[in-house]
Chain A
Amino acid sequence: MSPELTDQTKKKIEEIASRYASKEAALLPVLHLVQHEKGFISQQEEKQVAHLLNIKPIKVKEVVTFYTMFNQKEVGKYHIQVCSNLSCSLLGSESLIDHLKNKLGIEIGETTSDKKFTLMTVECLGACEQAPCMMINFDYFGNLDKEKIDNILDNLE
C-alpha cells in the first residue's frame, strides 16, 4: 500500500471538487475514491483528504465514522455484507449468516486470517425482491441459499 495518493487520484479529486459550490462537498465522493484505492481510511488518509479539500482532519473523521460504508480498518479482499433486515430475515438470512460464520470460521465483524474474507451484516440493501441477499464488495447476490453461497465463495480467487 503506497502511502501517498496517486497523481491520477489527486487529479480526479480536483475534478470532483469543481462540481460543488464548496470544496468540502466533495468529501464523500473523495472518500469513496480513496477507499477504492487504499481499501480503508486510516488517519493518514483522513489527513491527506483534509489537506486536499482544505478542511480540518477532525471533520473528515466525523464523516468517516458516521457512514457505515467507510472502513476504518483493513477488510478482507472480499467484503461480504449480508442483509439482516426484515424481508431478508423473513426468508432466512439468519441461517445463512450462521452458515457463513461456520464456513469462514469467523464471527460477524471479523476477517479471516488469510485476509480473504470479512463478514458483516448490514441493514436493507434495497434488493428485497431478491431476498435473502448480500453484497460482496460492490456486487449484489440475491435469492441466496446455502448451496448458492458455497458456489459463489468457492469461485472467488
Chain B
Amino acid sequence: MAKILIDERECDVAEGTTILKAAESAGLQIPHLCYHKAFMPEGSCRMCLVEIEGLPKLELACSTQVRDGMKVSTKSESVIEARKGVLECLLADHPIDCPICDKAGECKLQDYYEEYGLFESEFNEEKEKRQKKIEIGKNLLHDQERCVLCRRCVRFLDEVTKTRELGVFQRGVHAEVATYDGILVDNNYSGNLAELCPVGAITDKDFRFKTRTWFLQSRESICTLCSRGCNIYVESHQGFSRFSLPKRVYRIQTRENQMINGFWICDKGRYDYSYLDQERLDKIVVNNSEDPQSWQEITSIVAGEIGRLFHMKRSSHIGLILQSWLSNEELFLIDKIFRNDINIGKISFLDPPEESSDDFLLTAERTPNRRGAKEIGFDLQPADWEKFLEDVDLLFVFASPIKGDTDFSPLKAALDKIEKTVLFASHNHEINSLFDMVLPMSLIAEKGGSLTNIVGSVQGFSPALDAPGNCKPAWQFLVDLAKKLMINFDFYNQFSSPESIREVMKKEIPYFREEHE
C-alpha cells in the first residue's frame, strides 16, 4: 500500500496504481481524453498532467504510478496552465459546433472548455480543412474536424474486435482517422465507438439529431437479448410530457462490469431496443377485446379457474408453458405455486431457437435466463407438444414474443380445443388472438429482480422504465394469485418485492446462496 497526498487529500492505494485512478478513488476527477480504462495509457492528449512535489516537470496522471509519500497537485497554477494550453490547441483545431453536435452535454471537450472558460479562441489563422459527416459504419458517422486523435477508436478496433477498420493516416497536424478503401466498420461491436469517442467525432446515426443528451434519463438495467446479461443503461424520456413522444427509449449505453461484459455491449443489445416501445401490449384483453376488469378481478378469475381444477383433483389438466424471459424470482414463484402447491402435470419451456453467437459476448441463446431456470430445477427441453396439450383443460403461457422469433405453430392447432387459455404477454402478436385471455406483462427493463447469465452469474436489476399502461410484473401477479389460491397463504404473504422473494429463494436453493455475482 502507498499513502499519498492528492490536493491535500490523503489516500491509501495499492502500490502501482496510477495517479489518475488514485485520484478517482479519492473522489477527484483529473481531466483526460486519450486515457480509457480499457486500454493501456497512451499519454498522447496531455490533458492529465499533474504536479508531483520534487519533480521538475509535470507528469502524466494516466500513466504515472504512485509511490509512497508522493504529493500530487492537480490544481496548481502550472497544472491549470498546461491544461489550458492543451485545450487551447484542441480548440484551435476544432469547429466548436456544439449546438448541432450530438455529443453536446456529454462531450469531455465541451465540459473542459466550460470549466476553464475557453470559448473564445485566440486562433486567428486558417483552420485545417477536414471532412465532416463521413460514413464509417452502418450506424456511424465520422467528423474529422471534431476528432482529437485520442486513438481510442483505433485501439478498440485493434485490441477488442481485432478488425481494425479505422487507422490514422498522414502525420503532424494533417493526421486523421479514417477507414481504408471504403471498407466500413462492420463488426458486432461497432456501436461502442460512438460511446467510446470522448468527443462528437464519431456519432451514432441511430441517435443523430433525435434528442439532446440532457433530456435523457439514464437508468441501470441488464440487456436481455441474449444470455450474456450485459450491463447497460437504458436512456429514455421518462414521463417527459411536453411533447407526445413516439417512444421512451432513445438509446442503450454500456455499463462497466468486469465480470460480465467489461466496457462493451454488442450491436444487437445496443440497437435492437425498439421492442421496449413498439407493439407493446398494455391492456387486459379478454376474448379479443379490451376488458374493463381490474387486475384484482382478473386475478380472482384466474385463481378461480385453477382452484376449480385443483379441488376437483384435476391439477394434472393444467398446462404451463414458459419462456426464460422470466426472472429468477418469477421462476421460483412459478415453481412453488404450480409444481409444489398445485402440482400441475405439465410444465415445459418454449424458448426462441438459438441463433449465431460470436466469440466475444453474444451468446446463441436469445433469452436471458435459461441458466436461472435450470438452476431452479426446470427441464428446458421443449415438450412433445401434441402429447403435452392432449388433455390440457387450462393452459397458461408466459411469452414475450419479440418480433415473432418464437415458433408458436405447434400450439396453434391445439389452442382452440383447450377449454381456457391464458397468455401472459408483453407484445401484440398474432398468437394473442388465439387466447381467451391475454394479460399485459412488464419487461425486465420495467421491473426488479435477478437473472442468471450463461456462465451462472446472478445479477440483480431494478426498473429502468415505468411499466406502460396496465402492465404488471409477473412476480407481482404470481404473488397475488398465490394469495388468492389460499393454499400456502403465509408463505406468499411475506413477498412484497423481488428482493423479499430472493431472500427466501436463497434459503431454499443452494445455488442462489453462493456467491455467483
Contact = CB atoms under 8 A, between A and B. Distances in A.
Q: Do chains A and B touch in the complex (CB under 8 A)?
A: yes
Interface of A: 43, 56-59, 61-62, 65-66
B170 A56 contact: no
12 contacts: A57-B181, A58-B166, A58-B183, A59-B164, A61-B167, A61-B169, A61-B180, A62-B167, A65-B170, A65-B171, A66-B170, A66-B171
B411 interface: no
B143 interface: no
The 5 closest A-B CB pairs, nearest first, are: A58-B180, A58-B167, A65-B169, A62-B167, A65-B170
Nearest to B171: A66
Contacts of B169: 61-62, 65
A79 B167 CA distance: 29
Contacts of A61: 167, 169, 180
A57 B180 contact: yes
Contacts of A65: 169-171
Contacts of B171: 65-66
Contact of B164 (A43, A56, A66): A56
B201 to A, nearest CB: 18
Contacts of A57: 180-181
Interface string B175-191: 00001110100000000
Nearest to A60: B180
A58 B165 contact: yes
A91 to B, nearest CB: 27
Interface in B178-209: 179-181, 183
A29 B494 CA distance: 76
Contacts of A59: 164, 167
B168 interface: yes
B489 to A, nearest CB: 66
A83 to B, nearest CB: 19
Contacts of B183: 58
Please classify how large the interface on chain B is, using the bins under 10, 10 to 19, 20 to 34, 35 or more. 10 to 19
Contacts of B165: 58
Interface string B145-184: 0000000000000000000111111110000000111010
Nearest to B163: A56
Nearest to A66: B171
Contacts of B164: 56, 58-59
A58 B153 CA distance: 14
Interface string B299-310: 000000000000
A136 B317 CA distance: 95
A62 B171 CA distance: 9
Contacts of B179: 58
B199 to A, nearest CB: 21
Contacts of B168: 62
A65 B167 CA distance: 11
A56 B164 CA distance: 8
A43 B181 contact: yes
Contacts of A56: 164
Nearest to B165: A58
Contacts of B180: 57-58, 61
B50 to A, nearest CB: 31
A43 B169 CA distance: 14
A68 B2 CA distance: 47
A62 B181 CA distance: 12
Residue among B165, B170, B180 with max Cβ neighbours from chain A (10 Å): B180
A57 B164 CA distance: 10
Residue among A57, A58, A59 with max Cβ neighbours from chain B (10 Å): A58
Nearest to B176: A65
B86 to A, nearest CB: 23
A73 to B, nearest CB: 14
Contacts of A66: 170-171
A141 to B, nearest CB: 28
A59 B171 CA distance: 14
A58 B181 CA distance: 8
Contacts of B167: 58-59, 61-62
Given A56-B164, A62-B168, A66-B170, 6 more contacts: A58-B166, A61-B169, A61-B180, A62-B169, A65-B170, A65-B171
Contacts of B181: 43, 57
A111 B159 CA distance: 42
A100 B170 CA distance: 27
A118 B166 CA distance: 32
Nearest to B181: A43
A134 to B, nearest CB: 23
